[in-house]
Structures are given as C-alpha cells and as structure tokens.
Structure 1
Amino acid sequence: MVVCCLKLYLTVFVYVNSQFFLLCNMEESAVQHKVWLADQLNGDRTSADSTCDLILTSEGQEFRVHKNVMMLVSNYFKKMFTIEMVEKYKESVDMKKIPPQRLAKIINFIYSGKIEITEENVLDIVDDAEYTENEALKSHCCSFMLDAINVENCLTFRMCAQRYNLDEVLIKTNQTIVENLAEIALLDDFLQFEVDDVTAVINQNNKSCEEGAFFAIVGWVNYNPCDREKFFLKLFSLLDLNALRTNFLLNQVFEENLVQNNVCLHLLGDAFRKCTKLHCTDNFILIAGKNLMTDCVIYDMITRKSKQLPKLNSGRVYACAVKFGSKIYSLGGAEDKGGSNACSTVEMFDLDEPTEWNKLPEMLQTRVKCGAQHMKSEIFVVGGINKLFGTLSSCEKFDMKTNKWTSIPNLLVGRFGHGTANLRSVLYCVGGYDGEKDLSSCERYDEEIGEWNEITPLNQARRCLICVVLDEHIYAIGWT
C-alpha cells in the first residue's frame, strides 16, 4: 500500500493504492469550528449548568456572560477586570448607562458578531460601542453609516463622526454637504453650525458649486447677524469668486448687503477684472478670405494696429478655424474664390513659434462652410457641403495627441453655414442651411453617449451665423 498526502488550496487529499480520498477542507473546517465554539459559548449563557462567571445588570434585568469573552472584545471590561477597580472582585456589574434592550444586543454581538443596525438605532449603538470601547462594533456602525449617508441625515451623522472620531464618515458627510450645499444650508442643523464647521465645509468645496457656498454663508450669517457678521469676511474670502458667473457676481453677490465693505468689494472687483479678462482678448486673427486666400493678419485692439503673419500653404475661402491654447487650426474650405472646389487640407500655426503654418493630416472628407470646435484634446468638424455629396451630415474628429482623424455619428440634419459651440464639454450645432431653406433646428453631441440629440430650436431660422459662449449661455449671432 502506497500512502501520500497532497495539500491543494487548503484541501487535503490522501493517495492510497492508486486512489485519492478527500479528507477535509482545512479552511472551511476552521471556520465551522469557530462558529461552533461561539454557539457553544452563547448557549452556555442560558443553560442550567452555565459556566458564566459574571452577571451584567440593567434596570433590574440580568445577563450572564463570561468574563474572558467580554474582556477579549471590550477594552472597557478588560480594564475593569485587570486593574484594581471595585468591579474586579464583584460577581455582578450594573451597566447603568446602557438600557437593557441595547445591552442585550451588544452582548449578542460580542458572542455572535451579529447585530441589526438601522438609521433609527445606529447613533445609540455607536454611543454604546464607544462607552464599552468595543472597536469591532464601532467599525460595524461606521460601515453602516458610510452606506446610509444622504442629504437628510448627513448633518446628524457628521456630529456623531466628530464626537467619536469616525474620520471616514466625517469626510463623506462633508462631501455630501458640499454636493448639496444649497439644499442643506436651509436646514436648521446647518444654521446651528459653529464657524469652524462652516469653514471646514467651504474649504472642502470642489469649486463647482460656489454659488451654493455663497448662499450658505449668507444664510448662516443672517441667522444670527449680531454674533456672526464679524465672521462674514473670513468666510467670504474662502470663496473662489473667479468660478462664479459674471451675472451672478453682478446680480447676487454685489447686491448682498454683507458684501458692502471695502475689503469684500475689493475682492469682488478683482473677480470682475479677471472675469472680463477671461472673456476678452487683446487681439484677434483673420485667416484668408475671398480676395486674400493665403493671407493671415493679427489685429491688436489696444494699439489698433495689425501685423502680417506667415501665409497659409494652401489658399482657401469659407474655411473654419479653431484656437486651442497657443495653436490655431485652419480646416477645409474651398480652393477657389467661388467656393465650389472643396478641400480637406488642415494647417496649424503656433503663436508661440510664429514662423510658419504646418500641414497636418487631411480630413476624411472635403468640406466647405463646415463648423468646428475643440473639446479636451480633440477637434470636431461637423457638416458642410461639397460637390460630390451636396449638403453633409457627416462629422469627424481629430486627436491632437495621435494626429489622426476618425468618424463620429452623423448629424440628424445635414447642414452648412451653421454655428458651433462647446459648452461644458458638449458640442452644439446651431441653425445653418440645408440646401433648400434656412434652419432653426439645433443639435448637441455628448461624446460620452456618442450620439446627436435634437434640442430646442432657435426663435428664428438663420445661417452663416457664429456662436459665442458666455456665462453658461450660447449666443447665436448673425444673418437671419
């Protein structure tokens, strides 16, 4: 007889006379033994011949337990029975601060690891866990709270997290407050915040909801102006005013009485100047045209002087252009003054190295009077017209990192002479001409979804227009 043992993934096999016999799964057996032992100890608490050596009492109710078990799980009991305390020599300990129903649940958790936690009882349980220094139970409460945090309970959970040093819960409640600041700022619990709490929330703000943060600060101060007005400047200075819309700065912030002091007005003035600078530029560039097909000129609006730039490699009219950083892209257009000979050529000019126009890979299709916008590191070209296909609904994009063109889904309505805009990384196509009539229809392309959707039409059909984005609005300007 040949006998050998093979251990594979904690499972033991015995090889006897050309046959394998499964003995046991060691890991599963160990788990089963732990469960069995816990059940035996828990059952011993209520048996007639119990070996329990301690009685816990609460409001006259008694609970038999094992000292060693309680000491292993709870530092409260460990200290009670390992240092010279009166309780060390007693057979019964009165748990005055914990009601009997809650004490029963804590004891059951210590023996079984199971406890029912709800939004209604979690604060009591974490309070009892802290009192008895039961870190395992405290961790269970923390996990529950992280999953249960919402707008309605985040302020209550936040106070609990601060009291008991639940760092993860504190971080998530702060995030929830920030994400829903406008709504939460109206709650009584928020209005009861101390100034340090409001400061912590504003500091954690991700700058995407500064309007809500402004209203929260104003509401908090106005709740108790006599005591809190002195904190307004400190809180106001935490706001990123540059992230606010110009209209909001003018109509909401400037009109607020609390802002009417020299320091706040100075901060507001700086924001206005920076905002104006963002929306304006000191110069603009003219690229080619019907009578100057390769000429490019930069015009300084401050000095009112123009300067000739290097000529395009290929003459073009009715082309579209995109500026991305210091780089300017000229795309498509027609090679003849009449605009009938559409081209697909693309050139790029770098204002930081203003020596020449550089040729880039050609578009997938020739296009005249198309629209173009950049989003992130890509240039999108939509619609247009050419001799072969007439009015175009096709669209494509150019990856500035890989220098490659790829097709994207077609427009719902083919068009040329339309306007395009990029608002919040969504591409908009506005108006235009379909070869028979001027269009008022508008579409938008969300790259994450990968499709065009029709949106509210223009009030008036128009073509050969331009689109401008200002303060989260798209303005359609031009011929009707």
Structure 2
Amino acid sequence: MRSEYFRTLFTTTLHINEEPDVLLHGVSSDTMTQILNYAYFRKMEIHSKNVRQLLETAEYLCIPGVTALCCDFFMDEIDVDNCVDIMHFARLQFCADLETRARRFVALNFVELSQKSEELLELPVEELQAVIDSDELNVKDEKFVWEFILRWINDDPDNRKGHIAGLLKGVRLGLFEANFFKDEVSKHPYVTGNKACRPVILETIEFLRDVQMMTRGDKEFVTPRIARPRIPQDILFAIGGKRDGWPSDVIEAYDARADRWSVVEGIESIGPRMNHGTAVVDFDIYVIGGHDDWKDLDSCLCFNAVTKTCREVAPMNERRRSLSVAVLRGAVYAMGGYDCYEYYRTAERYDRKAKQWSLIAPMNTERFDASAAVLNDKIYVAGGSHNKNYVNSVEVYDPDIDQWTFVAPMLSGRANFSCVEFHGCLYALGGRNRTSWELSTEKYDPAEDTWTEVPYMNFYSNYLNAEVIDDTIFVIGGIGIGETGCSVKRYNDKEDKWDKAANMNVRRFLMSTCVSKNLPNASDYAYKHRVKLMKEKRKKC
C-alpha cells in the first residue's frame, strides 16, 4: 500500500493545485540524492555513517534494492564490536535475513561477548532469552552462560533479578558438575529468592542423582533438554582411508559437544582414496592426491560442506601420495610425497581464483609421510622418510620470498605422524622410526627455535591424524600398541593429560582429517540422537 501511495504522489495529474515540491519527513537531502542516484544509475556510496539512514529511508520509500545493498554492507562489516547493535537494529527494521545473520554471529562469538560486550548487557530479556535458549549457542562450557546471566542481572538487579527463573531454563544445567551446581547455582541468592526456580532446580537435582546411580537398576534414561549438549559450530571430518584392505570413500563427522561420530550420508561421493591430503578453505574441503589402489593420483576433488556437492578441480602437476598439505592465505599447498617412480621435494600451490596449480620453490629435502602445519603465517614441514631414512629435519616456507629455510630439527626422526599448531607452538605427535614405534610428543617453540619433549602423552601410534577443535588437540585413528585404527584421544592442556574420546564408527587408516569452522549448517553433521546420550553412556558403565 505504501508503494502505491508514493507512486500516486509523484505521478498523478489530479492535483487541484500543482505542487512541484513534496516534503518527505525525516529524509535528508544527502540521503535522497543517494536514493535518486540508485534509481537512475544503480550506484550508491554506502559507508558506516550513512548506512542506517539509507536503510531506514529505503524501508520508508519501499525500495527493496537499496534495502538489500544496505543489509549486504552490514553483513560484510559485522564484528564483535557491532553485532549486538546490528541484531537489534535489524529487528527494528524487520530485516529478517540480517537479524538472523547477526544473531548467528552473536551465538558464534558468545563467550567473548559475554565477557567484554556492554551492548549485550543492554539486551531486553526477551532477546537475551532467545540467545541463550538456542541449541547453536557456541559454548563449550555452560558456565559461561550462567556467569553472563548473573552479569546481566547485576547490571540492574532491582529490575532484572525477577527474570532468573526464565533465563535459568535456557542453561544446560545438567552438564554442570554436581558440586558446582549444588554450591554455585542452586544456592545462589537470586535462585533461592525466587520460588519460580524450584521446578528446574529439582529437575536438575534428580537428573544429576540419576547420573550418579546410572549403573544401578533398570530405569530407562532419556536425556532431558537440560543435559543435551548444544550443536557445535566446528565439525571435524575424517575422509577416506584404507578399510578392510581397500580404499574407502567413507566420510565421518565428529560432534565435539556430544563426543560422537556419525557417518555422513546423502552426499556426493569423493571416490575411494587413501594416503591423500585434505585442506579446508571457507566451506570447501579439498581432497588431494593419494592412491585409489590402482594408481597414484594427481587429481583434486572439492567437497562443499554446505551444498554437499563434490566437483573435480584442476589436477596437480605431480602424482602424489603420502604428501603433506597446508592452507596459507586462502591458497592450498601440496608438498613432497611420492609416486611409483619418484620421491618428491617439489611443492605446488592451488590458486582458487585462477583454478590452477603452479609449482613453487622446491623443499630442500625429498620427503614423504611427513607432516605440515601453519605457524606465524608460514608453512612448516617436518620429518618424513627420505632414501629409506627417517628424517628429523624441519623446514619452513615463506610465501613472500618463495623460499624454504631449515629450522631446528626434531629430537627424533619420525614418519607417519602428525603436526598441529597449538597455542603458538608446533606439536609433533606419534609416528615411528627405524628403532621405535613409541615416540614421545615434541613441541617446537618458534621464538626459541627449539624442540622439547612433551612427556605426558600416554599412548603411542603411527598413521594417526591430529586436529585442533574446541581448543583441544585430538588424535584420530592410528595403529600401534593397543590401538585399533578407530580410537580417538584428546589432550587437556589445563589438566596436562590425555583422555579417551568416542571411537570412530569405521576402522581404517591412511585417511585424512580436517576441521570446517563456523559451518552455517553444522546441525546437518551433528550427532542426531541427543536424547539417547545418557542411555548410551549407561551401556558403557
């Protein structure tokens, strides 16, 4: 109706008196000039100082093209400093897509926002409730949610403490340790002073008691909502590998919050591969080289985790298996490896825009079964095999000068191992050499250019893969003493110890792994049977 009004206002010839000027309340001349430029030339100069006025005016005058441009600008500019404000503004302007994007950004960065953001403290209770109720709130520990609720109430306690009961229902209270819940939550003055909190407190007490007694009796355990972990935003994938003696195309996804693996179904096949590499750029997963049991491969497939489609991209210049792979500045690198005839020190880079591989400076050493990781905006390639020897040398690639340089060697030569960057250091985990299958973990400090042994690894294996997710090192698969090819370990650096995570569903090795971060459809890969988690846990007891 509003668009019809404006069309009539400017085009009708039925005015009794000719009116050459029309007053549009609240619209500045600068804004109107921009609108007219868009109408005639489809050009606009949008920046942080005019975008709000332009969007409000576009909504007022019903110009959806300008609205879309302004929303796109907000989406490109959103960060931790403005996301809450954008979310609130989008809601007031009824820009649903922008509000959804901003709300997702808030959920994704909730931990940081909960500790620093003053704008988050200004949210009305209805918006805060929607944020903390979300299954996709990105929190590894529910204590962050509880602590922010207290911070929000303490900002205006007289007017806000009455909301504690409703907000408490959004917290996964059943994931707290029993002592923390008893001492810090159930006895908090805001909780004890509000009778409306009693039902959820009693439900949690009963649940935690049942968990402690789950090995007794025949009671059926259904995981209540207060104990169902939230959906992770980062998904760990295990791809291909050698299964029952043959290359496989199976893909499994790991849900770190539920500690469960799921076989990914309903997607296009990557084809059977083993001894290959995997690299992630945005939501594209590149599956590179390897072996299909008939030949060594130079081919490269790209699986998009959002669209779930697979396409073949340009092949490498060399056929490579047992290669090392890394991603730096949005480009994919493939280094070393071998084929039936030759061991490589060559390296190449895939340019996504040009859709082409090109050779870069070769490494100083031929190496296969080595491992690569990115640290301080450079690529480190460590270890591997060369001329039937196990290599301890490490070299680093600087893309600005296209040059490889040796740094301090590892304490042990090793192959079939995995390197990861963790807290500013490079960790080398597992592997073997000519004298041992029980190699300790080593840590490289780039500031000191030194390797030191990390003595607390309580297992040994090779052909393993290591990834970092949820600020935790995971070691996936591997074969060795007591290892099955599907076991998973994780390292808690705060407690300085390793513990066991859920096994993969498929036993295999010579696979590749990767982590896709901030997936908008992470729920597609998350563990689907959250209501059965406690029942499954009971079976293991």
Query: Do Structure 1 and Structure 2 share a fold, with TM-score over 0.5?
Result: no
Q: TM-score range by the shorter chain?
A: 0.3 to 0.5
> Higher helix share goes to which structure?
1
| TM-score, scaled relative to structure 2 | 0.40
